[in-house]
Amino acid sequence: MSENYCNNINVKILFFGAARDAVGVEEASFSTASPASVFTVKKAVFARYETLSGFAKSLMVAVNREYATDETAIENQDEIAFLPPVSGG
Amino acid sequence: MRKDTDFFELTREPLDVGAITRRVVPATCGATVVLDGYVRQWTSGKETLHLIYEAFEPMALAEMQKLSVGARGQFEIAHIGIIHRLGKLEIGETSVVIAVAAPHRKAAFAACEWLIRELKRSVPIWKKEFYADGSAWADGENVIGAE
């Protein structure tokens, strides 16, 4: 791998429920500069998918299947799930 | 904290409440409290035709197990089983079963109520309601993304 790519990380984004319907895909790949957090990944995802804007306040995020906050650090190959308000039961 | 007799499952098959309940009847217990959650036809005057449930399955199973740890920390209970159905469900079909066995009923009732409340709050499962005039993802008591 060349020097130019050393500071980039690749992550997988998953969309569920109403968020998946809004973006039209179940998953997407993103490349972002490191160090990255949930906040920076969210910014990139919202920029690519304008139809997600209605979910800005309600979406929860899980990193590698654990609920995360905006401050949670993101590593290369992390799986980041965008979760609309849950409604099981 | 998890007991071998506990179970946490997601399934696309119909749920048999009686059979699920009998999976949590240990000899040291005197009561099993079971929640049979099923598809409601009428909500605030609006008729539901059917539902589709989906889940982030591995995370949903992990969150259910976390709930069992939380329940054991608060209530004197012995065994917990939680099964949630996914896919298309018709009116009246069971969507979720929570069975809690305890030496005494009071703790089992309290734990069952706590478990369904927390499941609705934190387990990544979503419900899409289908009506005569469209469909919408449910958001607890509210409905978002109406089409």
User: Tokens 């089992």 appear where?
Assistant: B108
Closest chain B residue to the Cα of A52, Cα to Cα: B145
Mean pLDDT, residues A17-25 taken together: 96
How is chain A split into domains, by residue range? 7-83
Interface membership of A89 toward B (CB under 8 Å)? yes
Closest-CA residue to A84 (of B65, B125, B10, B113): B125
**Percent of chain B whose pLDDT exceeds 70:** 93
Mean pLDDT, residues B4-29 taken together: 90
Q: What is the pLDDT of residue B28?
A: 82
- pLDDT 10s digits, B77-103: 999 999 999 999 999 999 999 999 999
Pairing of strands B79-85, B94-102: antiparallel
- pLDDT 10s digits, B39-56: 999 988 999 999 999 999
DSSP letter, residue A53: G
Could you tell me the CA-to-CA distances from B46 to B90, B113, B143 in Å, in that order? 16, 26, 12
Q: What is the model's pTM? A: 0.90
Nearest 5°: phi and psi at B62? -65, -40
Q: What is the pLDDT of residue B146?
A: 35
Mean pLDDT, residues B8-32 taken together: 91
Nearest 5°: phi and psi at A43? -60, -45
Confidence band for B142, pLDDT divided at 50, 70 and 90: very low
List the 40-69 stretch of A: residues with Cβ below 8 A of B.
54, 58, 62, 65-67
Question: Are B114 and B71 contacting, i.e. CB atoms less than 8 angstroms apart?
Answer: yes
How close B139 gets to chain A, by Cα (Å)?
Answer: 6
pLDDT of B143 over the 50 cut:
no
Mean pLDDT, residues A42-61 taken together: 94
Q: What is the pLDDT of residue A50?
A: 95
Mean pLDDT, residues B26-48 taken together: 91
Q: How distant is the alpha carbon of residue B38 from its chain centre?
A: 9
What lies within 8 Å, CB to CB, of B89 at 6+ separation is: B39, B50, B51, B52, B53, B95
Domains and CATH numbers, chain B: 7-140 (3.90.1170.40)
B58, B62, B123 ranked by CB distance to A88: nearest: B123
pLDDT of B147 over the 50 cut:
no
Pairing of strands A60-63, A79-83: antiparallel
- pLDDT 10s digits, A57-84: 899 999 999 999 999 999 999 999 999 9
* Amino acid letter, A61: V
A16, A67, A85 ranked by CB distance to B139: nearest: A85
How close A55 gets to chain B, by Cα (Å)?
Answer: 10
- pLDDT 10s digits, B111-129: 999 999 999 999 999 999 9
Q: What is the pLDDT of residue B144?
A: 40
B142 or B95: which leads in pLDDT: B95
SS3 (DSSP) at B119: helix
Q: What is the CATH number assigned to the segment(s) A7-83?
A: 3.10.20.30
d(CA B116, CA A88): 9
B39 or B26: which leads in pLDDT: B39
B58, B122, B128 ranked by CB distance to A86: nearest: B122
Confidence band for B76, pLDDT divided at 50, 70 and 90: very high
Q: What is the pLDDT of residue A3?
A: 47
SS3 (DSSP) at B24: helix
Which residues in chain B touch residue A16, judged by CB atoms under 8 angstroms apart? Answer: 54, 56, 124, 126
The ipTM, to two decimals, is 0.91
